[in-house]
Amino acid sequence: MAKGEETRDAILHQGVETAYRVGLGGLTIGELARSTELSKSGLFAHFRSKESLQLQVLARAREEFVATVLRPAVRVPRGEQRVRALFDNWLYSGVHRTAGVCLYVKALSEFEEQTGAVRDQVLQGHRDLYDSVSQIFRTGISEGQFRSDADPMQFAFELNGLLLAAYNWVRVVGPEDAERRARHYFETLLETARA
């Protein structure tokens, strides 16, 4: 990777961290300049507008989610093992508040009533995630490990709901209890799905 690409990569990662802290709506070129200790004019040359910055930071958050949660899971054998890896990676990232994983959750509630490209990208990111989860589950059906009449998108719905509950529980009650409860419910979810 060239030095310019490394610098841009570091700036976008810091943008994800900053947006997680101040909200995607609070992410401005000025706020990012304070976080990175770079000049506003230099950052403006990279991003040109607040919306462009937000869109690029969302794209970077998505890359971080894929690298942290999805890609390691799909390296695991298909079926229940892969579904477990997906759950473990996602739960760990949520409990430990990994910014790239959690930013989309925060951004959805922040932008759900707005219109525009940022909201559209947030919604598409969530839809793509649901599709990925349902596809991972579908491979378990094709391996004969899950019921043939199971609904992959229903599984994605329930897994997402479980992880959102854990995400909220971490803040309200604490990470240990959230993880314990999430793992308990995940086992129930798998038991229902098994062939």
Taking the C-alpha atoms of residue 38 and residue 30, their distance in angstroms, rounded to an integer, is 9
Residue 37 CA, distance from chain mean position: 27
Residues 48-91 have pLDDT tens digits of 899 999 999 999 999 999 999 999 999 999 999 999 999 999 99
Looking at the chain, the number of H-run helices and the number of E-run strands are 10, 0
pTM recorded for the entire structure: 0.91
Residues 127-140 have pLDDT tens digits of 999 999 999 999 99
Residue 64 CB partners (closer than 8 Å, separation 6+): 13, 16, 98, 99, 100, 101
In the chain the domains, ranked by start, together with CATH numbers, are 3-193 (1.10.357.10)
